[in-house]
Amino acid sequence: MKQTVENNEQISVIGSGLMGHGIAQIFALHGHAVRLYDLKQEFLDRAVQSVRDNLAVFAAHGIISAEDASRAPARITCTLNLEEAAEDADFIIEAVPENMALKQDIFRRLDSMSKPSAVLSSNTSVMSITEIASASVHKERIIGTHFWNPPYLIPLVEVVQTEDSAPEVIRFAMDILRRAGKNPIHCRKDVPGFVANRMQHALWREALYIVEQGITDFATVDEAVRLSFGMRLPHLGPMENADMVGLDLTLAIHDYILPHLCDSHTGSPLLRARVAAGKLGFKSGRGLRSWTAEESAASHDALREYLLDIAERKAGKNESFPLTSA
């Protein structure tokens, strides 16, 4: 399958919600024409307004120029017609709700409506790309591109290969994502959790287990992570860390400690009990601890400011953001 490599590919994003509008923003900012599809005009209007608002914040932080912030939204055109979204697109990214039947149906339709050279990807967080593609004919051009939220501030995108994906489709996705300022990684197997979520949830399982075992409380678990290895993680992944520590010592520690760690294959009983009691976290005002509306808003704001600060510093150093357009 021949793919263009210039920075002028037509992008389509299917679903303009939390992830879809952010993905559209990334490509529009990097000079691509983007078509955004959803079921209602009001959803599309809200999405484009969110892009404008996000870019204004970027400009205020000096991450992009005011000129780029005002030019990029005009590259996004909205449609309520899936065929129109599909027909000219070189790269179609699906970001509709996490529902297998819905995703299968959308890919089946996109497969028949799009041009043969188009690459089709799903932004699913957890679902099998192989299963999503199962109702489509041209499975070789269907892959996963798992962006993280918010997609315009978190650099990683997991590019997920299935047994059917053609190698040139993976190369195309890696290349176009790099040119859009992202850091794509190649996940060579279509496995649950891809790469990063497997590690995130392994940590989460152990964190809950530590509290279940009465070793310490929730707040102390978070403090222990944030003020120890969490501080190193942006600079030192576990593989480099193993080499730094020495593989002999790492092995000795693992042989000693692993039998004591949680290896449950089901969700935590503690989590299950909270959910059964309607204690769902920010959205119900009580989860692992209680949250006022102000506290949960402050937590969201603090995370966003932290991520914006990283983007600002990277833009200043001309590192993998600049998010400036072509």
Ligand X SMILES: NC(=O)c1ccc[n+]([C@@H]2O[C@H](COP(=O)([O-])OP(=O)(O)OC[C@H]3O[C@@H](n4cnc5c(N)ncnc54)[C@H](O)[C@@H]3O)[C@@H](O)[C@H]2O)c1
Task: Give the binding site for ligand X (CB under 6 A).
Answer: 14-20, 37-39, 43, 95-98, 102, 123-125, 147-149
Both tokens of 29, joined, read: 């900012």
Q: Residues 224, 216: contact at Cβ < 8 Å?
A: yes
Q: With respect to ligand X, which residue has the nearer C-beta, 58 or 194?
A: 194
Q: How far is the CB of 152 from ligand X (least distance, A)?
A: 12
Q: How far is the CB of 176 from ligand X (least distance, A)?
A: 18
The reply to whether omega before 150 is within 30° of 0 (cis) is yes
**Closest residue (Cβ) to ligand X?**
17
Distances (CA, A) of 130 to 145, 158, 177, 195, 297: 13, 15, 21, 16, 38
Q: With respect to ligand X, which residue has the nearer C-beta, 93 or 323?
A: 93
Q: With respect to ligand X, which residue has the nearer C-beta, 156 or 275?
A: 156
**List of residues 6+ apart from 250 with CB closer than 8 A:** 242
What is the DSSP track for 2-63?
----STT--EEEE--SHHHHHHHHHHHHTT--EEEE-S-HHHHHHHHHHHHHHHHHHHHTTS
CA-to-CA distance for 240 and 208, rounded, in angstroms?
26
Q: Residues 184, 159: contact at Cβ < 8 Å?
A: yes
Q: How far is the CB of 199 from ligand X (least distance, A)?
A: 16
What is the DSSP track for 95-123?
---S-HHHHHHHHHHHHHHS-TT-EEEE-
Q: How far is the CB of 186 from ligand X (least distance, A)?
A: 18
Q: Which of 96, 89, 102 is nearest to 132 (CA)?
A: 102
Q: Residues 161, 188: contact at Cβ < 8 Å?
A: yes
SS3 229: helix
Q: With respect to ligand X, which residue has the nearer C-beta, 3 or 136?
A: 136
Q: How far is the CB of 198 from ligand X (least distance, A)?
A: 15
Q: With respect to ligand X, which residue has the nearer C-beta, 3 or 16?
A: 16
Q: Residues 72, 29: contact at Cβ < 8 Å?
A: yes
Q: How far is the CB of 211 from ligand X (least distance, A)?
A: 24
Q: How far is the CB of 81 from ligand X (least distance, A)?
A: 11
Q: With respect to ligand X, which residue has the nearer C-beta, 31 or 73?
A: 73
Q: With respect to ligand X, which residue has the nearer C-beta, 23 or 315?
A: 23
Q: How far is the CB of 77 from ligand X (least distance, A)?
A: 16
Q: How far is the CB of 159 from ligand X (least distance, A)?
A: 14
Q: With respect to ligand X, which residue has the nearer C-beta, 124 or 268?
A: 124
Q: Residues 146, 124: contact at Cβ < 8 Å?
A: yes
Q: With respect to ligand X, which residue has the nearer C-beta, 7 or 197?
A: 197
Which spans in 117-258 are helix H?
A: 129-132, 167-179, 196-212, 218-226, 229-232, 238-245, 247-257
